[in-house]
């Protein structure tokens, strides 16, 4: 009889211990679930708040990507902490697991360091707002229109229509050609015999005409800035001016239209845009004058 009572007493103690452990495990999982729900709600509220203050759809897309990164990070951290606590309640030693995970993490880190670098660089590209969808950029020796920015890569399409994927880890310097505003730089050569002031005045008139044109006025953010004589080339005097353009992606269209109108303005005013000139010198012998240069033309 005493043996039976001690047996059932032992069962009661094991049942109580099992129930206590199960309750603790359930409590840990419940708290982890609540923390994850709170984190998602806070991240969602922050994302909505920042999206309302966003200047455009490209910035809203960047905020959405960052919110997704924060949500995944919070989920992973909470899951790791909860899993460690659950294993401790079940009597599983966590130290060997952590040691094994550390060694495996180092091995994986060496094997996937380029991938990790891509993700870190991508995170800071998004956080610092260096690149947005819709920008025209030049990175890692490649340039084009940005179609997508992720933590892993930047996808661009160049002028020929080719799609280019650049891993974020390869990006060291970002040249963004369409952020906020840009300038269309125009250089044109005129003959040495022409008056530079007259040629520069034609540039200024073309700029005023484009600003007064409803089709182009909204794309130009200021008066044409006349830089002046840039340099002397072999056959021409190079003149330079620039036009501030917003939105910035229109700078190339503005430049093409400006050059077209400037060509017409120079033609109307008789200002020569010269071709390269070549002077032929037949040379002279040491003993006297060279013979006359004979030019033979072929009959048609």
We report the CATH number of the domain holding residue 152 as 2.30.30.60
Residues 212 and 154 in one domain: no
In a domain, 274, yes or no: no
Which residues are CB-contacts of 272 (< 8 A; sequence separation ≥ 6)? 190, 191, 193, 194, 266
Q: Is 46 in contact with 69 (CB distance < 8 Å)? A: no
pLDDT in tens, 38-97: 888 888 888 777 777 766 666 666 677 777 777 877 888 888 888 878 877 777 666 666
How confident is the model at residue 11, as a pLDDT?
52
Q: Which helix (H) or strand (E) holds 269?
A: helix 251-269
pLDDT in tens, 140-176: 889 999 988 888 889 999 989 999 999 988 988 999 9
In a domain, 90, yes or no: yes
Q: Is the peptide bond before 31 cis (omega within 30 degrees of 0)?
A: no
User: CA-CA distances (angstroms) from residue 273 to 9, 189, 198, 199?
Assistant: 108, 6, 13, 10
How confident is the model at residue 159, as a pLDDT?
87
Q: How many CB atoms lie within 10 A of CB 40?
A: 15
Eight-class DSSP state of 273 = -
Residues 6 and 104 in one domain: yes
d(CA 205, CA 201): 6
Q: What is the pTM of this model?
A: 0.62
Examine the fold and report which residue of 176, 198, 229 is the final residue of a domain before the chain moves on: 176
Which one is predicted more confidently, 259 or 296?
259
Token readout for 269 is 């005013």
CATH code of 205's domain: 3.30.70.100
pLDDT in tens, 220-251: 888 889 999 999 988 899 999 999 998 778 88
Residues 10 and 67 in one domain: yes
Residues 169 and 187 in one domain: no
Strands (DSSP E) contained in the chain are 136-139, 142-149, 153-157, 163-167, 174-176, 182-190, 225-232, 237-245
> Tokens 């380029």 sit at which residue?
114
How confident is the model at residue 162, as a pLDDT?
93
Residues 59 and 94 in one domain: yes
How confident is the model at residue 21, as a pLDDT?
79
Residues 188 and 232 in one domain: yes
In a domain, 280, yes or no: no
Which one is predicted more confidently, 234 or 5?
234
In a domain, 287, yes or no: no
* Domains in the chain, number: 3
CATH code of 9's domain: 1.10.287.1260
Identify the bridge partners of residue 241 per DSSP, sorted by sequence position.
Answer: 186, 226
Q: Residue 137's domain spans which residues? A: 132-176
């Amino acid at each position: 009889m005493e043996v039976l009572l001690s047996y059932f007493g032992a069962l009661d103690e094991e049942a109580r211990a099992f129930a206590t452990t199960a309750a603790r495990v359930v409590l840990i999982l419940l708290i982890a679930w609540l923390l994850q729900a709170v984190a998602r709600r806070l991240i969602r509220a922050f994302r909505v708040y920042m999206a309302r203050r966003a200047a455009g759809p490209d910035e809203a897309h960047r905020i959405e990507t960052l919110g997704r990164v924060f949500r995944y990070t919070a989920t992973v951290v909470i899951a790791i902490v909860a899993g460690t606590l659950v294993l401790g309640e079940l009597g599983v030693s966590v130290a060997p697991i952590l040691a094994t995970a550390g060694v495996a993490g180092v091995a994986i880190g060496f094997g996937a360091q380029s991938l990790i670098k891509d993700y870190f660089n991508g995170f800071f590209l998004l956080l610092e707002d260096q690149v947005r969808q819709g920008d025209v950029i030049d990175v890692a020796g490649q340039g084009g229109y940005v179609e997508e920015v992720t933590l892993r890569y930047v996808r661009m399409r160049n002028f020929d229509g080719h799609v280019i994927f650049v891993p974020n880890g390869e990006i060291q310097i970002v040249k963004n050609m369409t952020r906020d505003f840009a300038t269309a730089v125009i250089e044109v050569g005129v003959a040495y015999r022409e008056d530079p002031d007259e040629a520069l005045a034609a540039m200024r008139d073309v700029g005023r005409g484009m600003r007064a044109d409803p089709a182009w006025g909204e794309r130009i953010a200021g008066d044409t800035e006349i830089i002046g004589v840039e340099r002397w080339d072999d056959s021409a005097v190079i003149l330079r001016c620039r036009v501030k353009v917003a939105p910035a992606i229109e700078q190339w269209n503005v430049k093409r239209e400006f050059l077209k109108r400037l060509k017409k303005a120079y033609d109307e005013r008789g200002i020569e845009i010269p071709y390269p000139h070549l002077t032929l010198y037949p040379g002279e012998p040491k003993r006297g004058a060279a013979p006359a240069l004979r030019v033979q033309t072929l009959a048609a």
